């Protein structure tokens, strides 16, 4: 059977991926450049018996999806930098209460209102450390509509598997570039269902007692188990506790469930990495520019490679160190002041061999922006 092909923006690819993954509820607030996601879902969700609500702000949007997730739905919100800032409070609540949800941030130039209609990748660290307190988080990204579809499904899968919020860091160029998307058939991409408790009615259900495999089966609000959910540190019943041993266990559980599963969470794409003398590391729309350069230079016999990161957090430090071990130079291509550069420098054996090729003026990073850096690393002038 012929596959269905559509011509869509990255934002629409995200919507289609979310529906493929079983999205049941979306709450959001209009903000450029993410608004198309809310607009499309305001039409698609009611058609598919899902629920859509436009809330009064991003704070309440984030709260509403967490509430909805507890009733058993797969949930998502979408925003951009300023709205993402407002969501940080409730994002931390989702971390603490281990509530699965997907938060899409279609990045634009910041800080503050910044460049509302221009591209940026300045929210990488906000995704990591935006909410207060020690915590681990999963953040994914993609560089084209086809990958956006797949990574959106992955975002839902990881949210369910690890009972955690997953941040999907798109950017204005990925979100608004209209291109081909071959729609995967049902079953083609694995979809992880909500893990629900098998504890029968009348038997004590412990919402925060991990199974042997570390997973925490859930019980829907409105189901047979009446349990407590709180943003306070809590025991296995979900009741508030400030006992040091309980707090210690909870804090480590929240970090370990993600940090010890880096390999399972890591998604990368590799282009000519093995024999690369100069390795580019990039992600999101910037990786499109990086890939263009790599293909172009390979055709001339220059040994360039690209490591495209799709998982930004937890940062795949071990994989990056391995892939960088044989390259003479590493160039991180990103549209911020070096937010992933710092992580790469921390990961590799020779941080002095890592350079930044970036752009932060709202313009999309072009091949010539990057090529100048490559010339410098090759000992040539600009």
Partner 1 sequence: MAVKDYIRKRFFPHIWCPGCGHGTIMVAIIRAIENLGLEKNNIAAISGIGCSARISGYLDFHTLHTLHGRALAFATGVKLNKPELTVIVPMGDGDACAIGGNHFIHAARRNIDVTAIIMNNSIYGMTGGQNSPLTGYGDFATTAPFGNMDQPFDVVKLATGAGASFVARTTTYHVNPMVKILEKAITHKGFSVVEILSQCPTQFGRRNKIPSVVDMLNSYKTDTTPIGSKEKENNPDLIERGIFIQEERPEYCAEYDKVMERASKER
Instruction: Check binding of 233 to partner 1 (CB under 8 A).
Output: no
| Spatial separation of the C-alpha atoms in residues 373 and 263, rounded to whole Å | 31
**Between residues 226 and 300, which has the closer beta carbon with respect to partner 1?**
226
Instruction: Check binding of 255 to partner 1 (CB under 8 A).
Output: no
239 close to 259: Cβ distance less than 8 angstroms: no
**Between residues 50 and 110, which has the closer beta carbon with respect to partner 1?**
50
Instruction: Check binding of 63 to partner 1 (CB under 8 A).
Output: yes
Q: Which helix (H) or strand (E) holds 102?
A: strand 101-109
Instruction: Check binding of 268 to partner 1 (CB under 8 A).
Output: no
Cis status, amide bond into 33, omega within 30 of 0: yes
- SS3 for 189-223, per residue? CCCCCCCECCCCCCCCCCCCCCCCCCCCCECCCCC
Instruction: Check binding of 187 to partner 1 (CB under 8 A).
Output: no
Instruction: Check binding of 228 to partner 1 (CB under 8 A).
Output: yes
Instruction: Check binding of 205 to partner 1 (CB under 8 A).
Output: no
Minimum CB separation from partner 1 for residue 230, in Å?
A: 4
Contact partners, residue 294, CB within 8 Å, separation at least 6:
271, 272, 280, 304, 305, 306
| Spatial separation of the C-alpha atoms in residues 382 and 372, rounded to whole Å | 6
**Between residues 86 and 148, which has the closer beta carbon with respect to partner 1?**
86
Kindly write out the interface string for residues 288-317 of this chain, putting x where it contacts partner 1 by CB under 8 A and - elsewhere.
------------------------------
**Among residues 223, 342, 353, 367, the one that binds partner 1 under rule CB under 8 A:** 223
**Among residues 32, 82, 89, 266, the one that binds partner 1 under rule CB under 8 A:** 89
Instruction: Check binding of 360 to partner 1 (CB under 8 A).
Output: no
**Between residues 51 and 194, which has the closer beta carbon with respect to partner 1?**
51
Tokens of residue 175, six digits:
């979100």
Tokens of residue 15, six digits:
């919507």
Kindly write out the interface string for residues 31-50 of this chain, putting x where it contacts partner 1 by CB under 8 A and - elsewhere.
------------x--xx-x-
| Spatial separation of the C-alpha atoms in residues 132 and 149, rounded to whole Å | 30
| Spatial separation of the C-alpha atoms in residues 71 and 221, rounded to whole Å | 5
**Among residues 16, 73, 267, 297, the one that binds partner 1 under rule CB under 8 A:** 73
**Between residues 93 and 373, which has the closer beta carbon with respect to partner 1?**
93
| Spatial separation of the C-alpha atoms in residues 125 and 110, rounded to whole Å | 13
> Considering only CA atoms, which of 81, 140, 136 is closest in space to residue 105?
81
Name the segment binding partner 1 (CB under 8 A); options: 15-23, 64-72, 181-189, 312-320: 64-72
| Spatial separation of the C-alpha atoms in residues 132 and 89, rounded to whole Å | 8
Please report, as ranges, the residues that interact with partner 1 according to CB under 8 A: 24-25, 27, 43, 46-47, 49, 51, 53, 55-57, 59-61, 63-73, 75, 89-90, 93, 220-224, 226-232, 237, 239-240
């Amino acid at each position: 059977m012929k596959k269905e092909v559509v011509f869509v923006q990255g934002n629409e690819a995200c919507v289609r991926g979310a529906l493929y993954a079983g999205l049941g509820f979306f709450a959001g607030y209009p903000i450029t450049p993410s608004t198309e996601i809310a607009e499309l879902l305001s039409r698609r969700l009611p058609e598919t018996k899902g629920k859509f609500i436009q809330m009064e702000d991003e704070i309440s949007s984030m709260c509403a999806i967490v509430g909805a997730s507890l009733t058993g739905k797969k949930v998502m919100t979408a925003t951009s930098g300023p709205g993402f800032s407002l969501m940080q409070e409730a994002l931390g609540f989702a971390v603490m209460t281990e509530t699965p949800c997907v938060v899409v941030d279609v990045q634009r130039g910041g800080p503050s209102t910044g460049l509302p209609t221009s591209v940026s990748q300045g929210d990488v660290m906000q995704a990591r450390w935006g909410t207060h307190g020690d915590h681990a988080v999963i953040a994914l990204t993609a560089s084209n509509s086809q990958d956006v579809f797949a990574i959106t499904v992955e975002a839902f899968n990881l949210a369910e598997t690890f009972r955690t919020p997953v941040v999907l860091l798109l950017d204005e160029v990925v979100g608004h570039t209209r291109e081909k998307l071959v729609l995967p058939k049902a079953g083609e991409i694995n979809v992880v269902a909500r893990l629900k408790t098998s504890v029968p009615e009348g038997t004590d259900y412990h919402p925060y007692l991990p199974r042997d495999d570390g997973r925490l089966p859930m019980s829907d609000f409105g189901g047979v188990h009446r349990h407590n959910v709180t943003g306070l540190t809590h025991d296995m019943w979900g009741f508030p506790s400030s006992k040091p041993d309980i707090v210690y266990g909870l804090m480590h559980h929240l970090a370990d469930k993600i940090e010890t599963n880096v390999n399972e969470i890591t998604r990368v794409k590799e282009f000519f990495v093995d024999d690369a003398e100069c390795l580019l590391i990039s992600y999101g729309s910037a990786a499109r520019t990086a890939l263009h350069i790599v293909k172009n230079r390979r055709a001339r016999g220059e040994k360039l490679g690209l490591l495209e990161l799709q998982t930004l957090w937890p940062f795949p430090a071990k994989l990056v160190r391995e892939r960088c071990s044989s390259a003479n130079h590493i160039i991180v291509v990103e549209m911020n002041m070096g937010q992933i550069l710092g992580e790469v420098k921390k990961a590799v054996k020779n941080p002095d061999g890592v350079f930044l090729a970036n752009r932060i003026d709202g313009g999309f990073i072009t091949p010539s922006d990057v090529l100048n850096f490559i010339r410098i690393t090759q000992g040539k002038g600009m």
